[in-house]
Structure 1
Amino acid sequence: MYQQDQKQVVIRRADRPGDLGWVVMAHGEAYDQQFGWNTDFEVLVATIVADYGTKHDPAREAGWIAEVNGRRVGCVFLVAGDRPEVAKLRILLVTPEGRGLRLGTHLVEKCITFAREAGYEQVTLWTNDVLTTARKIYRSFGFTLADEERHHSYGHALVGQNWTLDLRTGATDSDS
């Protein structure tokens, strides 16, 4: 917990009733308002959250909620990847109400710290090129663009990107 601009900011585990439902709703609303994405995106987020909620391993996977003055304004999850040494950073979001407080940076830092402590060697993530602020955060931690591919999803033509952070040689904290 910390104070910033007369606001009480807390980043905590996503373990309270309503947290998982809020993550789905907040993503659906925020991405519709900002990018005009349809409910296909909300379904993707719901699937990620449902998988996490029903079968996550607390020693290897975690989710966090950012709150400002007791209201949820952000989230991120770290889940196991396809290989035991690889984790995936998923569904980073900071709502307009929480922006400008460096919450995205703090949430990604929580993921990377947890990934190191859980023994992962690499963290990967998938995003889209229109998410410029998130990509700046990822870059600041040492993530590098592995590949990208055009796709049509959520009602739009997009460019999906895969990013990778090697924890054996990656940055230990944010440069920003």
Structure 2
Amino acid sequence: MSEVILRQFKSDDAAWLIERHGTLYARDEGFDHTFGPLVAEILDNYIRDHDPGCERGWIAQQDGQRLGSIFCVRAADDTAKLRLFLLTPEARGKGLGRRMLTTCMDYARAQGYRRMHLWTHESHRAACALYAAHGWQLVSSTQVHSFGVDLIEQAWEIEL
């Protein structure tokens, strides 16, 4: 078995990423059919409009199998947004999430961003613990009903 690589996202990764988000979030979180189209919209916008000089997406891959994704996109001149952070179940618990998060944050710093933010759900405990361990701060929590389920949305930020 070869080493896991982090390669740049390509447009032909989009269908896999939409399917994995939809399937895994339905299975693990009970999300309904409205979540996949949101992921598709985010990816369509990225493919169409991203600035390769200051935005990047990565796909974690091993032996040709995709294992996850993470994206750094511009939110403002000095602020990046972390998006579409996903690890497949077989890739979890091996330090890959830490590697992906570090890669994304290092890229943001190298592009001159001074801060980052992200949006997630409280139920993603492992991801939230990873953010906290890397210095991210929880800045808000809001009860919502989204994707057919009751959730607590969270916003996190970090000064780079």
Report the count of equivalent residues: 160
Are the counterparts in 2 of residues 84 and 120 from structure 1 also a CA contact under 8 Å?
A: yes
In structure 2, the partner of 1:163 is: 156
Greater mean alpha carbon deviation, residues 98-107 or residues 121-130? 98-107
Are the counterparts in 2 of residues 68 and 98 from structure 1 also a CA contact under 8 Å?
A: no
Post-superposition offset of 1:69: 2.1
Q: TM-score, normalised by structure 2?
A: 0.95
1:25-77 deviations in whole A, cap 9, x for unaligned?
Answer: 11111111111111211121111111100000011110000012220010011
In structure 2, the partner of 1:43 is: 37
Post-superposition offset of 1:118: 0.6
In structure 2, the partner of 1:171 is: none
Greater mean alpha carbon deviation, residues 120-129 or residues 19-28? 19-28
Post-superposition offset of 1:20: 1.7
CA distance in 2, matches of 1:14, 1:150: 32
Q: TM-score, normalised by structure 1?
A: 0.87
Q: Which amino acid counterpart does residue 151 of structure 1 have in structure 2? A: V
Matches within 5 A, 1:1-176: 6-15=1-10, 17-81=11-75, 83-167=76-160
Q: Which amino acid counterpart does residue 37 of structure 2 have in structure 1? A: V
CA distance in 2, matches of 1:61, 1:21: 20
How many percent of aligned residue pairs carry the same amino acid?
Answer: 36
Q: Which amino acid counterpart does residue 3 of structure 2 have in structure 1? A: Q
CA distance in 2, matches of 1:7, 1:142: 31
Where do 5+ consecutive residues of structure 1 fail to align? 1-5, 168-176
Post-superposition offset of 1:113: 0.7
**Which consecutive segments of 4 or more residues in structure 1 shift more than 6 A?**
none
RMSD over equivalenced CA pairs, Å: 1.2
